[in-house]
Structure 1
Amino acid sequence: MKRYIQSTVYVIFVIVTFLALAKSFMVYKNPFDLYENPLVWLALIGFVMVIVLKEIVNVMAINKAKELQNEKDGVVPEETPAWYAGILKSWTNAKDIEQEDEIVLDHNYDGIKELDNSLPPWWVYMFYATIIFGVVYLIRFHILDGDSQAVEYDKAVAEARAEVEKYKATAPNLFDIENVTLLTAEADLKRGKAVFNLNCASCHLADGGGQIGPNLTDEYWILGGGIKNVFNTIYNGGRDGKGMIAWSKTLKPEDIAKVASYVISLQGTTPAVAKPAEGEKYIAE
């Protein structure tokens, strides 16, 4: 019964992990990019390791069961294959038990003797690899003055900002405080008026004369006039605690630009009831 529960849990783990990895592959643009998505690689490596370890445990359990059965039946196990023994010896450089007398040292601690075994080749090769890596690192970053992680980060940020600016320059419907311009086309002003009447007229009146909100037809502004200031006020909201709410989460930047342009077009008009001027007179630079 215990074996069935373990198998069920293992199957559920494999299915859930596989679905999670598949979902991550669909979400990320470059899921196999180690620098952008290291967690994907960690999850993938962990998933593979669990499967491999599970199979290793299964093989070990099967072999152990065979050994016990052979021992019970009196079957003599076969010796280790010569090729496997050769590989193991070449990578460990260990002496056979019969040859240990050749490397035993004249040390005896309560019957415990010390062998003068040489370092395993695999360890020696890894040690040499670290020396080579250290030399390459020294030349690359301390002699040739290679980029540090901080410099590489700054370069990556600069490249990303350049890509963003390039995208902004080619995106016709992308507006922000930096690139917004006054729109004068009839269609844009008509759309701005419609959005204004729907969302802004309750506080500023339909003709912009002002009620709860300030008068939008005079030359005085609380947070500055001009298309950039008006766009910023609508986008981020007015004064904290008593000003207009931020409309960035309700209106699209494109519509905010059209509303701001429409508000600018109200300058100099004569509302039915004009609220007294507030703020300071705005003079365009």
Structure 2
Amino acid sequence: MKRFFPVYVRVPLIFFTCYGLLEYFIDSGDKPAMIAYPSVMLLLGLILLVIIALEIVASASNNIINQLMTPEERAQKEALDNTPISQLPFVKNLLQKLTKTHGLENEKEIELEHDYDGIKELDNDLPPWWVYLFYATVIFGVIYIGKYHLFGGDNQIQELEKDMMIAQKEIEEYKKTAPDLLTADKVVLLTDAGDISAGKAIFDANCVACHRADGGGGIGPNLTDEYWILGGDVKEIFNTIMEGGRDGKGMVAWKQQIKPSDIQKVASYILSLQGKNPADGKAPEGDKVAASAGAAPVKNDSLVAPQASAPDA
């Protein structure tokens, strides 16, 4: 066996087989198991050390056995080691069973009476491997005809179309409940206290630098009045936060930093600020927007001329 798998083949083969099994049975997501779990790397290192140790012990044992052999036994072993693989007994027996070849000394037994200018024909049987392969193709053909021509089985194109339909349905079902695939047309105003509180936390962490903690506006516009530069409906506010404001002078897009489901909470929190109007709030900017199904009722009726040059809401 060592002739087929020398040490420089055995060690990598055993090691990578162990690594493949660990990768298969350990769920590490998109990362390799040895990166996701450092303990796996330690285990692989231990396995490699054990393999090397076993090879060293086996090599030392072979050396001791060779020293204990008689010269005749050693010569016999060397002769066996130098025998071509095709001449090994078990290889010869396997080839004989698969081919049923006859030796040159037995050709006279299978010679036919045909003689063409001194060239004689041998009555060799078909090789068993060829016969077995032929039988396998016949069985496959019968099954194929029965499934696809007699019982109406789906061909590859039909199977692909059905799998694509199933996959599309699964994607649509997933989109119905996947918050991070939320788009502006699916956004609704959230009124749950937990959602509003979560929106406030995100707002405090990212938005107060431009809009102040009370929403009264600083670099950015006042979010507590009824004037909006890019629309005051919850869907419009969601889209503004996602995609950013006007090119060159508006708010940056937050879709890379904040998940859509969280942006919906921020938009809902912003609308909960309607009507608070802090005393030192920034002057209104944009167009007056009446309260709608997507916005909280507006309590401020003050009319101040809008300033279109300020950053977007």
TM-based fold match above 0.5:
yes
**Superposition CA RMSD, Å:** 4.5
Query: Aligned residue for 1:185?
Result: 192
1:277 to 267, 282, 286: 286
Contact 1:234 1:248 in 2 (8 A): yes
Query: Aligned residue for 1:265?
Result: 272
Structure 1 unaligned regions, length at least 5: 30-64, 73-78
Contact 1:183 1:189 in 2 (8 A): yes
Aligned partner letter, 1:125? Y
1:198 to 205, 211, 222: 205
Contact 1:227 1:264 in 2 (8 A): yes
Query: Aligned residue for 1:48?
Result: none
- C-alpha spacing 1:159/1:18, structure 2 compared with 1 (3 Å): farther
Contact 2:215 2:273 in 1 (8 A): yes
Query: Aligned residue for 2:262?
Result: 255
3-state DSSP of counterpart to 2:25: helix
- C-alpha spacing 1:282/1:21, structure 2 compared with 1 (3 Å): farther
Query: Aligned residue for 2:168?
Result: 158
Which structure is larger by alpha-carbon Rg, 1 or 2? 2
**Once the two structures are superposed, what CA deviation does each residue of 1:98-138 show, in whole Å capped at 9, x if it has no partner?**
44232456457xx9866453322222222232243244334
3-state DSSP of counterpart to 1:261: helix
* Counterpart Cα distance in 2 of 1:19 and 1:227: 52
Query: Aligned residue for 1:146?
Result: 154
- C-alpha spacing 1:16/1:218, structure 2 compared with 1 (3 Å): same
Contact 2:226 2:289 in 1 (8 A): no
2:267 maps to 1:231? no
TM normalised by structure 1 equals 0.58
Query: Aligned residue for 1:27?
Result: 27
Q: What is the CA-CA distance between 1:174 and the residue it aligns to?
A: 6.5
* Counterpart Cα distance in 1 of 2:239 and 2:145: 51
1:1-285 alignment runs, 5 A limit: 7=7, 10-27=10-27, 66=76, 69=79, 85=93, 89=96, 91-101=98-108, 102-103=110-111, 106=115, 115-141=122-148, 144-148=152-156, 149-158=159-168, 160-161=170-171, 164-165=174-175, 168=177, 176-177=182-183, 180-216=187-223, 217-222=225-230, 224-238=231-245, 243-270=250-277, 272-277=281-286
- C-alpha spacing 1:130/1:252, structure 2 compared with 1 (3 Å): same
Question: What is the aligned residue count?
Answer: 230
* Counterpart Cα distance in 2 of 1:250 and 1:114: 82
Structure 2 unaligned regions, length at least 5: 30-74, 83-87, 295-313
Q: What is the CA-CA distance between 1:259 and the residue it aligns to?
A: 1.0
**Once the two structures are superposed, what CA deviation does each residue of 1:70-114 show, in whole Å capped at 9, x if it has no partner?**
7x9xxxxxx969xx85x7655434345444232456457xx9866
Q: What is the CA-CA distance between 1:151 and the residue it aligns to?
A: 1.5
* Counterpart Cα distance in 1 of 2:220 and 2:166: 45
Q: Percent identity?
A: 41
Q: What is the CA-CA distance between 1:202 and the residue it aligns to?
A: 2.0
* Counterpart Cα distance in 2 of 1:164 and 1:214: 37
- C-alpha spacing 1:158/1:188, structure 2 compared with 1 (3 Å): closer
Aligned partner letter, 1:196? F
Aligned partner letter, 2:182? D
* Counterpart Cα distance in 2 of 1:80 and 1:198: 78
